[in-house]
Amino acid sequence: MIIGTGIDLVDVPRFERQITRTPKLLQRLFTPAEQTLRLSSLAARYAAKEALIKTLGGSDGVHWVDIEIGSAASGAPHFVLSGTTADVVAQRGITKLHLTLTHDAGLAAAFVVAEGEP
């Protein structure tokens, strides 16, 4: 059963300006492994984290660095959750998260679908 969905769109040049103005955002928003990625990939991961928060219905108990976007051997993105964020997802009865990312023409987007038992 689908429990929730979320989508987010990021303007990559605007995201880059914010990161340039406030470099500490990298440590607040991304895990060390994510911080090494290209800017367009970071923007897509930011969109994924925002989309997950929308899927959950809010950010209570959710911490940005508890959410990492990993890649399967096939290249497909997936969530790697830890800490209180993993607890929040489990408490909501979510057993599977589906994630898709894209970035092109200065935009990055993510779509999330949560499955489980309500």
Tens digits of residue pLDDT in 57-97: 999 999 999 999 999 999 999 999 999 999 999 999 999 99
Give the domain extent around 15: 2-116
Three-class DSSP labels, 46-58: HHHHHHHHHHHCC
**Average pLDDT of the residues in 29-50:** 96
Residues 42-55 have pLDDT tens digits of 999 999 999 999 99
Going by C-alpha positions, the residue among 111, 95, 99, 79 that lies closest to residue 3 is 95
In angstroms, the Cα distances linking 88 to 60, 65, 70, 92 are 8, 14, 19, 6
CATH number reported for the structural domain that contains residue 110 in this entry: 3.90.470.20
The angle, 0 to 180 degrees and rounded to 10, between the axes of the packed helices 12-21 and 39-56 is: 100
Q: How many domains does the chain have?
A: 1
